[in-house]
Amino acid sequence: MKYKKIMCFLAVVLLAYSMLLLTSCNKHEKLSDALSNDSIYALIYEVQNSYDNISAYSDEDNLYINGDDLIGYVYENEFTTAVRNSSSISINNEKITVDLFYDVNDNLLTARTDEVNLGILSTNNDTVILEDYNSNQIYKIDIYKKVAEPLLPTTAFGFSYDEYSSLSDKYNTIFWFENPTVNKSFTKLAYWSNKSIINGNPYLEGGIWVMDLMSGTEYKLNLPVNSANIMSNQINWIDDETLLFVTHEEEQMSFYKHNLVNNNTEKITALPPTFVHIADNIMLYSEKDTIVIWNLTTLQNQRIPTPSTISIERIYRNNNKIAFTNRQDNSTIIVDTSSGKLDVYDSEFDNAISRVGGWNSNGELILNVFDVESANIKEIYKINEVKKNEID
Amino acid sequence: MRLISMLLSIILTVLALNTNVFAITIDYTESYTSINASANFKSPFRTSSGNEQNKTVNEKFSQMRLWRGSQADTHEGVDFTASKGTNIYAVYQGVVKVVNTSNSDLKFVIIEHAIGSTYVYSVYVHLYTISVSVGDIVTENSIIGTSGPPDNDVYGYHLHFGITSNYSNTYSNLIWIPTYDFYKNSACFNNGRDLDYMYGFRYDGINKKVYLSGYFKGDSSETREAFNQMLMYYRVGSGNWQLVTMQRVGTSYEYSYDLSSLGFPANTIVQAIFVGTVTSTIDNAGGGFHWQYYPAKYKVPPLNPNSLSSSTSYVSMRILNSAIINSLLLHGESLDTNNYYEIIV
């Protein structure tokens, strides 16, 4: 009799425990309500607390969740689960995993890898361009054949990596490539490197290299600037044939655009050392109580006063609108470059960090909200600009 | 009824084993272990798609060197090779506490990180441009600036990075602490081992041995130079330091010593200083001072700590039950700053 009671008690405990597990396994719940009726933030996706140690992020149309097979993307204004296909590819006898994500029509949405020292530069149909700092090589991967073709020659000016490496000391180290970037039409690759030559000997001096992805040929740009002063981080495509680059001279940075077809280099502006944000042919930086925006296509600039000193996390452009998070107060700022108007959306998120994630294909601004403690994403919102204007 | 009480006693036993009921509080003033337990920092470098990136370590934390060819000192942070203009990321979420641009060669940013109830600070030095302001809330995806310094001739282009237990707008007031524990679970920098000259202090209760690891890493080199010896100086109270030599574990960079062989009775508190030495011929390894202590001192100290003219930090260990050591804690100040004579990074 006693055993029966004990067994019953254990069964009840087991049942309750199972219910608890089932509840906590409820993965992601889509919500459509807002913070409040007057809120300008519309909650569109909630990442439940059922995952331990997950991190997630969204950019533009895609939602990524690490550590799990789920990835969502915006399809007909709804987040939809993408099809994931993990592909194992051999590079230098090392197996690496590249995760490929497809939409409902079997189009490749994006690719990712979690491996240290690797980066996905670009995807196009059945091709992924991958940078690998372990082997100092950039690969063109055929995702169907699972073949990785090395793009960079193993020598520059006839000298190998090891020969350049032997020149390295504490003050100057060989960088075979840095910050590679592929143009929109997937025809050219540009990167920074300090592999150079002087009097027929290998020499470490910075410069920009361009590779034709069709023919595989590459060359170092001959620019009318002191090549040694070209900065490694700011090499951007303005269009398929035009690059933006930056030089430094102690306390001055100079911005240039260079056209590869007519070999023309044009100076845009010069600034004291300033962190400059560049995205989609827009260059933006803040001065005291002002943001300065350059249109890199027209080379026109405008200055827009800000309500206070701001600290910009990252900029996202959608036609004439530029959005960013002000790290000082977690507010979201949208600048309309055609009207010169600046809208500030104060953060309504308690105990959380909010960051602009990008514009979705409907022209709505996506906002990621992170938990302060874990820095993991917990909710994704979109901003209702109409509502903001109503409240104003 | 008997079954229930049996079950209860099993549960209590399991609970007792899983919670450290045998822990004993020790009279220490500083404990890195309690700071480091739960924080996994990221690399300050990222690839194009945001993956963590390795960079070559030029000088490890607490690695001795010859500064400007003559003075033997200890490096207070970690130097990474980085081309000028490399984007630098916050290594952990936090709040920007200091942005100092008063010296263009030494522009630095300090970020405060809450680790449980403790605060530690990541420091980024020799920046060229800075994208953050004091009070900014940053995450691991935040770019805080680009590496410099403006010129290559004094320091060379690199990032000087480190962790401190305080923050200050005055660089020389910073108290640097070991870096390894924040990266020991990382896939970068040889699982954090490339960051500190000596690291991974631990006790193996089964073999009753203390362990410490370390190696030297030269400028812009991937070569890891093993110590030619790891010494342990120990004492009880304020007596003289006694010397024993630790044994290298196989061909690894780890060294061990069986503490039970010293025959201390239970409850003895033993203090220890470890000295890792490399051969004098290694380039830029401190010249005539080719060793360093664990815990580290700023100026390279005498090989024998009995010759020290100032107080020193040490590891404090309490012996329990015939050489069962329960807790290993760093005692005293994190770095001896009595011998500061120049701001060097």
The interface predicted TM-score (ipTM) is 0.85
Give one word for A37, left, alpha or beta, with left for phi > 0 and alpha for psi -120 to 50: alpha
Q: Is the separation of the CB atoms in B67 and B286 below 8 Å? A: no
Give one word for A265, left, alpha or beta, with left for phi > 0 and alpha for psi -120 to 50: beta
- Contact residues on chain A for B138, CB-CB shorter than 8 A: 327
A349 contact B CB<8A: no
Q: Is the separation of the CB atoms in A62 and A70 below 8 Å? A: no
- Contact residues on chain A for B157, CB-CB shorter than 8 A: 171-172
Give residue B60's pLDDT: 93
Give residue A169's pLDDT: 80
Q: Which regions in chain B score pLDDT beneath 70? A: 1-38, 67-71, 220, 310-311, 320-345
Q: Which residue's structure tokens are 């009824």?
A: B1
Cα(A58)–Cα(A44) distance, integer angstroms: 12
Give residue B243's pLDDT: 97
Give residue A27's pLDDT: 35
Give residue B341's pLDDT: 17
- Contact residues on chain A for B48, CB-CB shorter than 8 A: 119-121, 131, 179-181
User: In what order do the strands lie in the sheet containing A242-249?
Assistant: A236-239, A242-249, A252-259, A264-271
| Long-range Cβ contact pairs of A370-375 (< 8 A, separation 24 or more) | A370/B93, A370/B139, A372/B93, A374/A53, A375/A55, A375/B92, A375/B93, A375/B139, A375/B140
Distance from CA of B255 to the nearest CA of A (A): 29
What angle, rounded to 10 degrees, do the helices at A2-24 and B2-18 form?
Answer: 40
Give residue B39's pLDDT: 82
B136 contact A CB<8A: yes
Alpha helices in A133-220 (DSSP H): 161-165
Q: Which of B7, B40, B49 to mutate: most A Cβ within 10 Å?
A: B49
> Is B93's CB within 8 Å of A372's CB?
yes
User: In what order do the strands lie in the sheet containing A201-212?
Assistant: A178-182, A188-198, A201-212, A218-220
Q: Quick one: closest CA in A to B80, which residue?
A: A170
Q: How many CB atoms lie within 10 A of CB A185?
A: 12
Q: Is the separation of the CB atoms in B227 and B216 below 8 Å? A: yes
B23-50 exposure pattern, b = at least 16 Cβ within 10 A, e = fewer: eeeeeeebbbeebbeebebbbbbbbbbe
Give residue A33's pLDDT: 45
Q: Is the separation of the CB atoms in A315 and A324 below 8 Å? A: yes
Give residue A13's pLDDT: 54
Distance from CA of B148 to the nearest CA of A (A): 10
B86 contact A CB<8A: yes
Beta bridge partners of A324: A333
Query: Which one-letter DSSP state was computed for residue A392?
Result: -
Give residue A18's pLDDT: 44
Q: Nearest-CA neighbor of A84 among A68, A102, A72?
A: A102
List, in order, residues 6 or more apart from A134 with CB less than 8 Å away.
A92, A94, A117, A118
A301-327 exposure pattern, b = at least 16 Cβ within 10 A, e = fewer: eeebebeeebbbbbbbbbeebbbbbbb
* Angstrom distances, CA of residue A21 to CA of A14, A27, A51, A376: 10, 12, 12, 22
Distance from CA of A353 to the nearest CA of B (A): 8
State the number of CA atoms in the 13 A half-sphere of A328 facing the CB.
13
Interface of B with A in 179-208 (CB under 8 A): 187-188
> Is A232's CB within 8 Å of B128's CB?
no
Give residue A34's pLDDT: 47
Q: What type of residue sits at position B235?
A: R
> Is A233's CB within 8 Å of B86's CB?
yes
Question: Which tokens go with A290?
Answer: 């002002």
Give residue B321's pLDDT: 56
Tell how far CA B172 is from the center of its chain.
18
Q: Nearest-CA neighbor of B120 among B95, B144, B139?
A: B95
Q: How many CB atoms lie within 10 A of CB B269?
A: 15
Give one word for A391, left, alpha or beta, with left for phi > 0 and alpha for psi -120 to 50: alpha
> Is B54's CB within 8 Å of A179's CB?
no
Cis status of the peptide bond prior to A273, with omega within 30 of 0? no
B137 contact A CB<8A: yes
Beta bridge partners of A259: A242, A264
- The pLDDT profile of chain A, 392 residues, written as one tens digit per residue, is 556 666 556 665 555 544 433 333 333 333 344 456 678 888 776 764 433 333 444 555 555 544 333 455 655 555 566 677 888 888 888 888 888 888 777 888 778 888 999 999 988 888 999 999 999 999 999 988 989 999 999 999 999 999 999 998 877 889 999 999 999 999 999 999 999 999 999 999 999 999 999 999 999 999 999 998 999 988 999 999 999 999 998 789 999 999 999 999 999 999 999 999 998 899 999 988 999 999 999 999 999 999 888 999 999 999 999 999 999 999 999 999 999 999 999 998 888 889 988 887 678 888 888 887 777 777 878 888 877 777 77
